[in-house]
Structure 1
Amino acid sequence: MDYRRKPLQMKDTHHEKLIQGSSWLSVGSVFSRFMGLLVLIPWYAWMEERGNAANGLIQMAYTVLTLFMLLSTMGLPNAVAKQVAKYRSISEYQVAHRLFVRGIQASVGLGIVFSALLLFLAPLFAEAAGAGPALASTIRWMSPTMALFPCISVIRGYAQGNNDQPLLSFSSVVDKLLQSLYWVISAFTILKVFTGDFLTAVHQAAFASFIGLLGSLVVLLLYLKKDREKVEVQLPISLNKVEISTGELLLEALKEAIPCMLLSISVFVYPLIDQLTFIRTMAAHTNYSADQLMTLFALFRANTEPFVLLLAAVVSTIGLKKIPLLTKRAANKQFPEATRLVSNALQRSFYVLVPLGSWMILLAYPLNTFLYQANPLGSRVLIEALLMAAALSLFIVTSVLMQSFGQMALAVYFTLAGLVLKGILQLPLIELLEIYGPHSASIIGLSLSCALSFWKIKKEARINYKLVLRRLLLISVITVLIAALTFLVKQICYLWLDPANRWQAFSICLITAAMASGMYGFLTLKIRMVDKLVGTNKAQKWRRLLHIK
């Protein structure tokens, strides 16, 4: 195969190709969220009465791990992706290869340092969260994951810079699949075969993240072995006209990547604030025991998290599908087309968010029963969490839209404004609303960030929100009609199916989901709404397939 391709124009690579694989990456993200939800069904059932405590511990540990992961890479994967794409596009293969090698070397050091920090700081995080030694030991089981993660992230950044996004999606799928398998098998072995302690199972669930990363590393190493052939052909024909030190390369890239990292971190700072404030504040103002407080934390944060992340992943996947094209149009100052794409992105987001969020809220009780157990309080908290997930979804969409217009700095400031408001309201709302307080503070903080982003998007994209609002109104009317029918079907199902039984609750969810999605798809295709979102040709193809006139 001839790898000596002609240099591509910068406008086709540096701006577009770096985000071009968003669809592939989103597929991997949705799969990961879905697997994360499924694995909890047997896990929670086997834990029996310790299910909420186990969920709370593992959620707290993963929140700390995620924060350390983002801090350890410091935007390095995005930096490598951007610079590799940039210099390969102008046939400076030596520079791109040198950057990748130095990135790997830096990532090894970062992995060792942050793994050690996680190991030694675990008791401090546990004490701050009010969870004690059980959380500290769980976090420590994640230190091997921390050692491996930066190196894997840099390889993924290199693959993204080479525009090999399908590989990234596949490596993420392998990661989550192996993690889930180890999680379930270890839990079954410990709890059912040897009737061991629940904390041992929690520790192995924490260690499962390392097993998943090992599988992902194997996939990426096989990719690098295959990529070596291409590199060996391209290095001798490198133009070598650019003279730049590795330090300057990394500094140049990190200036662009660090704001992205800050936005990514902000999504995980919200649950971290909840983790550091809820148990301690409740302990100071209530008479709940330590076990009861951990159960309450699990109900509002750990048990709702899979639903929140799944909804946000689906909405952002559908809504942001055309972001690469929008980025290119905005960079080329083709503002009329960019405005149309912004409007389309918002409409696509609402098209998914409103009906899916409404269905999940309407079915909160059987959904909670299916995944965990029948619990009226857990169901009510899930409803509030889904409202927060709607705000989070819009926050993600608007933040990415602002980045597409080069408003990265403002996106960071708007995010910080929401976080500050969340921090100010957190303690008073916990004292006032108890278990409902943290999500209420998150909804208000995210809403502020979204409102500021909508204002700036309108100013930059010169978008007329009237069309978006009209489309939202139509979507809402259709959703209300289908929700009423769904509620009726749900109540009929209750006549012979018990929503407090796991598998009967699943049947209720399945029946209502099939009916609601079928009706929504039929109506939006029938009135040609889908045509405005995905294009007439694709919509017409779907109508022919479904025999809709």
Structure 2
Amino acid sequence: MSEESKAHQPQKAHVNSEAEAHQKMVRGSAWMTAGSVFSRVLGAIYIIPWVLWLGSNSTQGNALYAKGYNIYSFFLLVAIGGIPSAISKQISEYNAQNEYAVGQRLFKRGLLLTSAFGIFFGLIMWFGAGLIAAAFGGGDPNVIPVLRALAIALVIIPSMSLTRGFFQGYQQMAPSAVSQFIEQVFRVLYMLGATYFIMRVQRGDWVDAITQSTFAAFIGAAASFLLLGWYYYRKRPELNELAAQSEHKLAIPIWQLFRDIIVQAIPFIVIDTATTVFNLLDQATFQPMMQMIYHMDVPKINALYAYFAFNANKLVMIIVSLASAIAVTVVPILSESLASHNMRNIRKQLEDSIILFLFIMIPGALGMAAIAQPLNTLFYSYNQIGTLILQISAFTAIILGLFTVVSALMQGLSRNRDIIRYYLIGLIVKLIVQWPCIYFLSTAGPLVATAIGMMVACLMAMYDLEVNFGIRYVKLLPKVNRILVYSIMTYLAARVTVYGLNFLLNEQSKTQAFLIVVLAVAVGGGVYAYFALKSRLVDLMIGGRAAGLRRKLKIK
């Protein structure tokens, strides 16, 4: 072999390594995005019949559902303890060192830990439901049965989530994505069946319908866990083979495995509960602040609370889930690069993650803002306040998604203390601006206060990544500018379509609102796809397949 070809080998290895990491991230993101989006869309579509069957109690029911779920989400994230993400990160690191056996042992011990956590926090939530409802549920007694229904799901979801984390550590995203979808299918089927039976067959109480709707979380989790168990059974011969071929140089005692899990999990607990803590803060402060400032009665405040905490949140989380999909994918990949001290790969993965996020999130958020009016009518009812809140939520979703991705990047690079510090500073900012935001912006106040607090945390974290890992934001500007321009064109196209169709169709009809949404999405999505393909921007995301799409669509 010539000296010249030898000299080129390291460079080729670097290029291949970078390309492989990029493909892993894109492929993983595709699976997680598909799973998240399908499950979120399904989790939003059920609202249409659900709201109809609840009838005049739907707004109060939405508020009760949101109150119960926000509290449950906090307990769930503490019970899970960031363990799935921590396990995913650790297993990826052990696998990079060819210590597959240690990672598998870690997973089996982690199952014992998550089972114990699930039972412990489930019991606290069940027996402490009254006190919790008094502190965070506005003293509403209807929150108590909802919390007890959710406490049952809390027992098994931590172990289910840990199993997803195990597969993610092997960068196998399909089991997580498919199980996420199956979980939502079974949850929605039970919710709709129970609600229809209680409200239409029995002519029963709407609180019972909400209670059964929340119990559906257990039904979905059980179905998902069974599917993950089947995946694990199928993969067991392959996993055993990898374990047998391990280096077996690491001999880690059981107590140290548990300690490592908990130590790694603590930062994930804090960050994973970030959005939920912001929501709980709104839940605890919105009612007293609105009563003090605007002197409203409780039912009216509950209705306004439902607009942003349930109605808009359900729809906006569809696009925020895209950010979560990217975040889950990138943690094990970054951890693998960090373990091999490949700084070039790390910088490239950071830049790819941010561009991939912006490529999906910005047009998604602007598109949702453009169709907010017919979308709100389709899922809930024709309501100008609800439409305005959905528009504001769509814009603030970009910041929420950015925080999700940036915090995952920091955690993947073991910058745990720093991201926790930035998050806590953002939370303090949220506390400071909450009152003035509600005073000047009423129902939109909590959304704007959250966006301000999250933005402060994001900016600090992004500066940290620039200083410590050399990420070059200036280099990303041309791509970011193109994404912004195409997203604004998408917004305008969808907005003009909605405006024009409102002259031809009845904007207050759910059926005709559906037609407006479909046509506006087709027009807006078509505009973004055309420019992304024509400018070759989409090539960064899907590689060589973009050329095939251009040929089929005759785009030069």
TM-score, normalised via structure 1 length: 0.88
CA RMSD of aligned residues (A): 3.0
Q: Which residue does 2:161 correspond to in 1?
A: 153
What's the offset of the Cα at 1:65?
1.2
**Counterpart pick for 1:208 among 209, 212, 216:** 216
Residue identity in the other structure for 1:200: D
Q: Distance in 2 between matches of 1:476 and 1:547?
A: 24
Cα shift readout 1:148-189 (whole Å, capped 9, x = no counterpart): 222323333444445543222222221111001101111111
Residue identity in the other structure for 2:354: L
- Sort the Cα spacing of 1:459 and 1:234 in 2 relative to 1 into closer, same or farther, 3 A: closer
**Counterpart pick for 2:525 among 506, 511, 517:** 517
- Sort the Cα spacing of 1:359 and 1:104 in 2 relative to 1 into closer, same or farther, 3 A: closer
What's the offset of the Cα at 1:478?
3.3
- Sort the Cα spacing of 1:401 and 1:157 in 2 relative to 1 into closer, same or farther, 3 A: closer
What does residue range 54-93 of structure 1 map to in structure 2 within 5 Å? 54-84=61-91
What does residue range 279-290 of structure 1 map to in structure 2 within 5 Å? 279-290=287-298
Q: Distance in 1 between matches of 2:318 and 2:507?
A: 22
Q: Which residue does 1:133 correspond to in 2?
A: 141
8 Å CA contact 1:179, 1:211 repeated in 2: yes
Q: Distance in 2 between matches of 1:83 and 1:344?
A: 23
- Sort the Cα spacing of 1:87 and 1:359 in 2 relative to 1 into closer, same or farther, 3 A: closer
8 Å CA contact 2:40, 2:317 repeated in 1: yes
Q: Which residue does 2:116 correspond to in 1?
A: 109
**Counterpart pick for 2:550 among 516, 535, 543:** 543
Percent of matched pairs sharing the same residue: 28
8 Å CA contact 1:342, 1:401 repeated in 2: yes
What's the offset of the Cα at 1:79?
4.2
Residue identity in the other structure for 1:30: V
Q: Distance in 2 between matches of 1:99 and 1:504?
A: 54
- Whether 2:532 is the aligned partner of 1:527: answer no
Gap regions ≥5 residues in structure 1: 1-10
Q: Which residue does 1:297 correspond to in 2?
A: 305
- Whether 2:174 is the aligned partner of 1:174: answer no
Residue identity in the other structure for 1:171: S
Q: Distance in 1 between matches of 2:335 and 2:357?
A: 18
Local SS of the residue matching 1:303: helix
Residue identity in the other structure for 2:134: E
Q: Distance in 1 between matches of 2:414 and 2:273?
A: 19
Q: Which residue does 1:352 correspond to in 2?
A: 360
Q: Which residue does 1:8 correspond to in 2?
A: none
Deviates more, 1:405-414 or 1:391-400: 405-414
Q: Which residue does 1:314 correspond to in 2?
A: 322
Q: Distance in 2 between matches of 1:236 and 1:468?
A: 44
- Whether 2:382 is the aligned partner of 1:367: answer no
Cα shift readout 1:42-84 (whole Å, capped 9, x = no counterpart): 1112112111111111111111111111111223334444555
**Counterpart pick for 1:507 among 511, 515, 518:** 515
Residue identity in the other structure for 2:549: W
Residue identity in the other structure for 1:198: W
Deviates more, 1:374-383 or 1:79-88: 79-88
The number of residues matched between the two structures is 536
Q: Distance in 2 between matches of 1:154 and 1:485?
A: 43
Q: Distance in 2 between matches of 1:395 and 1:137?
A: 33
8 Å CA contact 2:411, 2:419 repeated in 1: yes
Cα shift readout 1:328-364 (whole Å, capped 9, x = no counterpart): 5555454455434433333332222332222211211
Local SS of the residue matching 2:414: coil
What's the offset of the Cα at 1:432?
3.7
Cα shift readout 1:491-521 (whole Å, capped 9, x = no counterpart): 2211111111111111111111111111221
Q: Distance in 2 between matches of 1:505 and 1:310?
A: 19
Q: Distance in 2 between matches of 1:476 and 1:117?
A: 47
Q: Distance in 2 between matches of 1:291 and 1:516?
A: 38
- Sort the Cα spacing of 1:449 and 1:79 in 2 relative to 1 into closer, same or farther, 3 A: closer
**Counterpart pick for 1:197 among 200, 205, 208:** 205
Q: Which residue does 1:34 correspond to in 2?
A: 41
8 Å CA contact 1:18, 1:82 repeated in 2: no
Cα shift readout 1:97-123 (whole Å, capped 9, x = no counterpart): 554443333333222211110012222
**Counterpart pick for 1:475 among 462, 479, 483:** 483
Deviates more, 1:439-448 or 1:233-242: 233-242
Q: Distance in 2 between matches of 1:542 and 1:17?
A: 18
What's the offset of the Cα at 1:130?
1.0
Q: Distance in 1 between matches of 2:31 and 2:304?
A: 37
8 Å CA contact 1:339, 1:462 repeated in 2: yes
Deviates more, 1:518-527 or 1:505-514: 518-527
What's the offset of the Cα at 1:385?
1.2
Q: Distance in 1 between matches of 2:316 and 2:395?
A: 9
What does residue range 327-476 of structure 1 map to in structure 2 within 5 Å? 328-329=336-337, 331-476=339-484
Local SS of the residue matching 1:133: coil
What's the offset of the Cα at 1:488?
2.7
Q: Distance in 2 between matches of 1:178 and 1:116?
A: 24
Q: Distance in 2 between matches of 1:87 and 1:350?
A: 31
What's the offset of the Cα at 1:41?
1.1
Deviates more, 1:206-215 or 1:310-319: 310-319
8 Å CA contact 1:18, 1:81 repeated in 2: no
Q: Distance in 1 between matches of 2:524 and 2:442?
A: 34
Residue identity in the other structure for 2:286: F
Residue identity in the other structure for 1:74: G
8 Å CA contact 1:115, 1:143 repeated in 2: yes
Q: Distance in 2 between matches of 1:445 and 1:93?
A: 41
Deviates more, 1:292-301 or 1:224-233: 224-233
8 Å CA contact 1:123, 1:132 repeated in 2: no
Residue identity in the other structure for 2:527: M
Local SS of the residue matching 2:538: helix
- Sort the Cα spacing of 1:18 and 1:126 in 2 relative to 1 into closer, same or farther, 3 A: farther
